Each structure stands twice: as structure tokens, then as C-alpha cells.
Chain A
């Protein structure tokens, strides 16, 4: 199978459908499926959060996610079968999810580690931004991931 047929990426405003994405990565040669689901939390440093608003530079975001997926397929001892990554854009209220990474592999170790690598790298390199809106009406804030200082992109797969 080509790399492309084993990778599915979406960046859009839709609510994330977990069943759909688990089906995307199902594979008869896979004995493990690992995932990360990122969700809007109701507080930041004690301050009530109402929602997050995400913005993207979509064509570049998809390219950067593709690079990460290809690195994963080529690493992890060749054990990774399929990868699905979806990032939601626009308003994401508390309790709803903004990102799902789901990866199938022959054995559990490789997909568990690959999911960890994927979320850390996505947070540091993919051009997506979030703004936090607070319940107390105080001024909303653009966030910057601590991983993304742009000066230490030293993430490598295991």
C-alpha cells in the first residue's frame, strides 16, 4: 500500500466523529489501535474557560501533518498500519474535542509511542492557532504552545 492510502487527514469545522475515524484506520493486520483526543477544558490556571476558537493556514497545516504522518509510517520499526488525524477549526466549546489522532499498528508499543510523537509534533509545528475565551468576560487571549517556540523543533520519532 502507498503511504497516501494509509494516511487520512482532515482540518475542518465539523464535530469529530470517533466511530468514523476508528473505521478509517481499521486493518486486519493490526492488533492495536491507539489514540489521542484533545478536548476543551473548562479552566486555565484557575480562570473559567468558555470556549476555544481555532484558526488555521489550512494548506500548510495539512502539509505539515502529512510530513508527521509519513515520518511515523517510516519509523516505529515499520509496525504502523494506518493513521488518521483530524483537527477541528472554529469554535470548540468546553467538553467538545478539537483534535483526534488515531493510529493502528501490529503491536501496541509502536502505535502508543507514535500517538505521543504525533501530538507533541503537531503542537509544535502545524500552523493552527487557538484563542481562549473566558467565562468572566476578561479579554480573550491567543495562546502559544510551549512546544512551539519555533526554535527547538527537535522532535524525532523513536
Chain B
């Protein structure tokens, strides 16, 4: 059994992958933020360096990069590259 997790993409990540969201499969017992990032790096090595400096947002709240939290398919997941507003 696996979870299908939709991940929203922005800025350079969106541009490099050429789409504004992707769906990632993770086993239900491994659906965590650390595993999601690792799987993204495995599937899309071209964004590894950006992921190193990006944060995840779950339900529009930043997740600290040292925090491995459980994610479920109903969560709104986004990769937030270094911001540059203003």
C-alpha cells in the first residue's frame, strides 16, 4: 500500500521540472517529510541542489528542515525554494 502525495512546485523547481505539481508515491509506513525529500532527489537529480536549500511547507506552514514529520495524501505539500519577494 502506498500514498500518492501531490507536491506543489514554485519558481526554479517548477521551471526545471516544467510543471507546477508532481505526484510522488511513498509506502504508507514511510510517508514522512525526510523520505519525500529523498525520493524527490532520487527521481529528479536535477533539482537536488535546489532541494538542499529549500523548505517543505505542509498545509501552508513551513516544516523545519531537521524535522521528520508524517505526511498524508490530504495534506497540501509544497517545496519552497529560497524566497525573493520584496
Contact = CB atoms under 8 A, between A and B. Distances in A.
Interface of A: 38, 54-57, 59-61, 63, 87, 98-99, 119, 122-131, 142-145, 148-151
B85 A126 contact: yes
B86 A127 contact: no
Given A63-B60, A127-B10, A150-B55, A122 B80 contact: no
A99 B60 contact: no
A98 B85 CA distance: 9
Interface string B24-39: 0000000000000000
Interface residues of B, number: 22
Contact of A125 (B12, B14, B83): B83
Interface of B: 8, 10-12, 14-15, 53-55, 57, 60-62, 65, 78, 80-86
14 contacts: A55-B10, A55-B14, A57-B57, A60-B61, A60-B78, A98-B85, A122-B85, A123-B84, A127-B57, A129-B12, A129-B81, A142-B11, A150-B82, A151-B65
Given A125-B83, A129-B10, 11 more contacts: A55-B14, A56-B10, A57-B57, A57-B60, A123-B86, A129-B84, A142-B81, A143-B84, A144-B81, A145-B83, A150-B80
Given A57-B80, A142-B11, A123 B53 contact: no
Contact of A148 (B12, B15, B61, B84): B84
